[in-house]
Every structure is written in C-alpha cells, then in structure tokens.
Structure 1
C-alpha cells in the first residue's frame, strides 16, 4: 500500500489496524562507471515494494536525497547538509506522528545517512518523550547489513564486492530497472581502497567512483536474489519492531 497512491480516507482506515509505516531513504550520488546515480534510493524503494507485496503495510514516498558531500566531485551527485537531512527526517516523522503513526521504520540504502538519521531520531525522542499516551519508535534498517546478503555477496564475488558501487547494490538496482543496465569494460577489475575525507580527496583516490569493487560483475539475476533476501529479513524485522 503506497501512501502517495492512497486517499486520506484509506490512510485513516489503515490506522485503525496499524500505526506502523515504512519509509525508504537513500541518496542521489555517483556509483562508478556502470552504477546508476539513483542506486541508493532505488534499492530501498524496490525492497520496500517487495515487503508491501507480502504484507498490508503502508509505504511512504522515498526520501531520494541524502548526505553525499563526499561524492560532490562527480557530476550528477546531489547532497543535503547533515543538518538539512536531520530536519527532513524530523519533519516527516512528526507530521505522520500527528496523524497517529507511532512506529517509523526507515529502510536505508546509503551509509552516509546513518549518522544524520540516527541523530534525527534522538531529536525526535527529546521532543516527544513527554507524550506517554502516543509513543514514538524509530528504526534505521540498512538493507545490506544482513548476514544472508553478506554470505551471498562473498560467495558470488569474494573480495570484489567492495565498499562503494558494490556489486550487490548495482545488481539490485539493475533488477529494479533492467531497462537501465550499463554494459561497459571497467579497469582495473577491482578498484583500490583507502580512507577518504573530502570530495576532492575521493575523486583523486578513486577517479572512476568505485571503492574496492568490481560492479561489472553485476547481474539482474543476482539482484533478484539480493532483493528477495532483503525482503525476507526486513519483513521479519519490521514485524518484530511493531511489538516494541
């Protein structure tokens, strides 16, 4: 059930049996030579849709922009300041909380969002902790941090999975959008790794945008596997979250 495709009356009826909602969140940033700029938003959006196919769960519109300052040396990247992202999350949650929602489950596709989003949760708890009759619960679920997904990535790609523009996330984005698959040679086969600080530093160390990965190994078939694993794991986690 998509919030954007529902009427207010349908949302009111939904709240009669559930006060939980899933909010996909990602980013708009470069993902190497063959990775889609929308990868980090595409992945949680597709996973959330898969969860909704199994359960009568309300899915909010995806927050497509994230904290991506370290990718700003690559054209097409759009970033929010950490303080802006914090406020966006606060405003989304407090708006929905006012209508009666209590459990907010963010399916995240971008590591750079973790610190701002969890900080936003702390601000929300500070603002709403006095409302004992109408509690609020927030959780950030990073879809790739899952034992089954890690095992599959290791089995399929070994060390070539990498850290940015990973084979698993590119595969999942291709599964979601097969019409956008990019087929091109990439050199070196496995990108270098290292620490980064600024956007210029990232571009200097990783000129094609990859970190330790070989996304030319990505496939639609593998993307479907990763998506199914994420849907199963996050559906179970969401169910448990609703009991908290």
Structure 2
C-alpha cells in the first residue's frame, strides 16, 4: 500500500484492501484539561504518535491500515475544570459503534480499537464485543498502557510517577518529547498532594471519589522528574509493545480464518 493511512486511499483501494483480508486500526483519544502545564490535546498527541509508529511497524509484517484518529472522547469527569470537549458515555458508545459499523460496511472483517484515554475504555470494549456479536468479523480492543505495562515497568517508567497517570510525570515527559514548546514548565510544581486510592486496585479495577477522579486539581502527580529524553524512551517502548501485539493479533485472526 502507498500509505498506512486509510484516508490517503481512494474508495476502491480501501475496499479492495478490506475485502482481501486487511485489518484496520481505530485510534481513540481525547481533548481535555491536563492540569495547568499541558495542552488539552495531550491524549491525542500521544495516541496519534503511538498509533502511527505502531501501525507503521506492524505493516511490515501484516496487512493493516490506520483510520483517522478520533480526538474527542468520553471526558465527563474533566468538564468542571474547563478546556474539555466531551461526549457523554452513551453518545460516545454510539459514535464508536457507528465507526465500527461504517468499517464493516466498507468491507473490513478485522477491526482493532486502540485507546489512549481511560474514560473511553469501557465503551470501547463493549463496542468491540457488540460488533463481533452482530457481524461475522474479528474485533480486538486495548489501551496502550495495558499492552505496554510490562515493558514500561522494565525500563522503570514509574520513576517519574504513576503510569500513565493524568498530566503527571509520565504524560508530561511524552509531551516534552513530542511538542516541547507547548509544555508550561513555569507551571510545574515540585510537589503535589497524593491520592493513593486512585491507584489502589489491581489493573482493571476502579476506585472513584466525587470531584477527584483525576486527582487533586485535575492531575495525579508532580511532573518534576519528566524530561524529553524519558518521554522519547517511553514512546518508543510503547510503540514496540503495541506493534508486537498488533502483529500477533492480526496473525491470530488470519489463522482463525483458515480453520473456519
């Protein structure tokens, strides 16, 4: 293919690719407040970079295209801080479902959702499930931090704060690597009130408190240890993990088709 981007191709090219068994990745992100020091497009900057790197690498081994990034997510818990555009949970569910239905009608039998914002995850998982129930297709869904958890632990990413946290050391390092001119380093403090209960459960568990779902003042930890160098390492590590998962998942789908 001339490009990994679905939107670079004509309708005939997309249709032929889909009908020949190619997969499509739908990247999900958000536009929401990220404390006093990061741009509101933080999740979309990070997810856009991770998705492009990962699909570009995976495309060397399996047939896959990347759909346009969805930069608006379910961010109701950020609205009170301002600087946030959100879809309500049911609206977001229907939007993602409609995207999936559109891709099914376009001929795709392998649809992969890749997420970069925590508020999107429950609806994304349900959409993937529903599409596979309604149509004779393959679906998969995951958030990048889940796919890269072990790899990020191996490079001690948590030394800057919770991974991924929200607008803390981890995300600040990533934005420093991607768009350093947008980081308000003059607004980064040396300390931040801790909310241990936010990360009290195992992966996949949820603990919430009214008014503090994103930590104190809309972010989870002080980003004082963040650097652009660390951000580049984190993004590269994530891309390796995600691309590997994409290749394994799409190959498993292909093998499954052979046994039907």
Question: TM-score range with shorter-chain normalisation?
Answer: 0.7 to 0.9
Residues 131-173 of structure 1: per-residue CA shift (max 9 Å, x gap): xxxx32222221122211133344642x566732232222223
TM-score by length of 2: 0.80
Residues 179-218 of structure 1: per-residue CA shift (max 9 Å, x gap): 32321243451332145444xx2399722x112x122332
Question: Could you say which residue in structure 2 is the equivalent of 1:26?
Answer: 29
1:142 has 2:143 as partner: yes
Question: Could you say which residue in structure 2 is the equivalent of 1:40?
Answer: 43
- Residue 87 of structure 1 and its aligned partner are, at CA, apart by 0.7
Residues 127 and 236 of structure 1: CA distance in aligned 2, closer, same or farther (over 3 Å)? same
Q: How many pairs are equivalent?
A: 233
TM-score by length of 1: 0.84
List alignment gaps of at least 5 residues for structure 2. 199-207, 254-260
Question: Could you say which residue in structure 1 is the equivalent of 2:5?
Answer: 2
Give the Cα–Cα distance (whole angstroms) in 2 for the partners of residues 160 and 118 of structure 1.
23
Contact kept, 8 Å, 2:189 with 2:223, in 1: the verdict is no
Give the Cα–Cα distance (whole angstroms) in 1 for the partners of residues 212 and 48 of structure 2.
27
More deviation, 99-108/83-92:
99-108
Residues 48 and 162 of structure 1: CA distance in aligned 2, closer, same or farther (over 3 Å)? closer
Question: Could you say which residue in structure 1 is the equivalent of 2:104?
Answer: 97
Q: 2:188 aligns with which of 169, 186, 189?
A: 186
- Residue 37 of structure 1 and its aligned partner are, at CA, apart by 1.0
Give the Cα–Cα distance (whole angstroms) in 2 for the partners of residues 162 and 7 of structure 1.
37
Two-structure CA RMSD over aligned residues (Å): 2.4
Question: Could you say which residue in structure 2 is the equivalent of 1:131?
Answer: none
